[in-house]
Amino acid sequence: MSSLTNSTTNNSCAHCTHFRNQPEYLERAIPGLSSMSSAYASVRGEDGICAKHERYLSARSSCSDFAVFAVDVLPSALPT
């Protein structure tokens, strides 16, 4: 398994296909989270879960298993 590092480049977890930070996903993935607060909380920032490594981490993290999120590759596919 590759080690994680912090990154400010576009190869960060925030732009990776394995990264999940949608509040609904986090509340399903972390049982009991909504009893403490909510995945919509501002203290979470953009943190999320790496589906490949099964880790909760910062969106600024990165690793050698980075895979470009499809929307990042084809921005013209976004609705206008």
Amino acid (1-letter code) at residue 21: N
Is 58 among the domain residues? yes
Is 78 among the domain residues? no
Is 15 among the domain residues? yes
Q: What is the pLDDT of residues 20-63, one digit of tens each?
A: 998 888 888 888 776 666 666 666 778 999 999 999 999 999 99
Is 72 among the domain residues? no
pTM for the structure as a whole: 0.67
Distance CA 12, CA 39 (A): 21
Residue 35: give the domain boundaries: 5-66
Is 80 among the domain residues? no
**How many domains are there within the chain?**
1
Distance CA 40, CA 47 (A): 11
Is 23 among the domain residues? yes
Is 41 among the domain residues? yes
